[in-house]
Amino acid sequence: MAQFPQDQFDKVPTDLKRVGAHRGPAKRGRGWIAFAWAALATGVLVVAGLYGLSRVNPEISFELPNFGGGESPAPSAAPTISAAPPVTDPTTVPKELKLTISVFNGSSTDGLQNIAGNAIKEAGWPNPARANAGSREIATTTVYYRSADFEGIARGLVQLLGVGKVQLSDAFPGAPVTVVVGEDYATLTADSGG
């Protein structure tokens, strides 16, 4: 390699704090501060996006998972005394109710939320959201409804599924009608080969 003679610019003092004309060495911890701001901005954008998505499409709802490891919240209201007639024809449901349905599998049999959800969808009801319940040891299928406007629909879904009971409850804010399938539905689908 070629060797060049040294000049005044090659002799840099050791106590010099600046490099080049305007740059100094980076301060310690600057990378972590930038990372923290980027993580905060990402979190804010994700939360805002999810909120906006839930406002644009009411069928989409987000429920917080139970990180406490405890039991799922028990429905707060007792079964109702009034008996609305079952609604078995989805076309008779008023559009202003904005009906959405959720199906949770509370049995020990995997995939029951999809079997029940498909049966509900094929009968002409809105395609339900599906997931496993917080507890997988529920004996009796229950259709929870948020207000008296949805009681007939809940009774119609019990009739459609062939098992269960209805209960007024606000324990499931994701949809006005929530089906929690239990072991009785697992037995019914096993007996019918479904």
Instruction: Give φ, ψ of 104 to 5 degrees.
Output: -115, 140
Comparing 55-64, 80-89, 111-120, the range with the smallest average pLDDT is 55-64
CATH number corresponding to 90-192: 3.30.70.2390
Length of the chain: 194
Compare 76 and 35 and report the one with higher pLDDT: 35
Residue from 143, 141, 144 nearest 186 by CA:
141
Buried-exposed string 121-135: b where 16+ CB fall within 10 A, e elsewhere:
eeeebbebbbeebee
pLDDT bin (cut points 50, 70, 90) of residue 40 is very high
pTM: 0.57
pLDDT per residue as tens digits for the range 179-194: 999 999 888 887 766 5
